[in-house]
A and B are shown apart, each in its own frame.
Chain A
Amino acid sequence: MNSHLDEREISAAVAGLSLADGSGEHLESCLECRRRVADLALLIGRCRAEQATGEPDWQAARAAVLARLPAVEDVRFEARRLRWWRPLVAAAAVIVAAAAVVLLAPDRVAVDPTESGIPVEEILAEVDAVLGDDSIPGFELIDPGLETLSGVVANGSS
Chain B
Amino acid sequence: MPTRADLPETDDALLIRARNGDRESFGELVARHQRRVWRVCRQYLGPADAEAAAQDALVKAYLSLRSFDGRSAFTTWVTRIAINTCLDELRRRRREAPSANGFADRADEDQLAALSDGGPGPEDRSIQRQAVARLAVLEQELPGRQREIFRLRFYAELELEEIAAALGVHVGTVKTQLHRAVHRLREGLGDVR
Contact = CB atoms under 8 A, between A and B. Distances in A.
Given A50-B132, A51-B111, A61 B34 contact: yes
Interface residues on A, range: 20 to 34
Contacts of B102: none
A72 B30 contact: no
A58 B37 CA distance: 12
A48 B131 contact: no
By secondary structure, the B interface counts as: helix
Contacts, number: 101
Contact of B179 (A15, A46, A58, A64): A15
B5 interface: no
A72 B21 contact: yes
Contacts of B31: 58, 62
Interface stretch (B69-77, B86-94, B181-189): B181-189
B145 interface: no
Contacts of A7: 183, 186-187
A120 interface: no
B189 A40 contact: yes
Interface in B47-65: 47, 51, 54-55, 58-59, 62-63
Given A16-B153, A40-B189, 11 more contacts: A7-B186, A11-B186, A15-B179, A40-B182, A43-B189, A47-B136, A48-B155, A50-B114, A55-B38, A65-B30, A75-B21
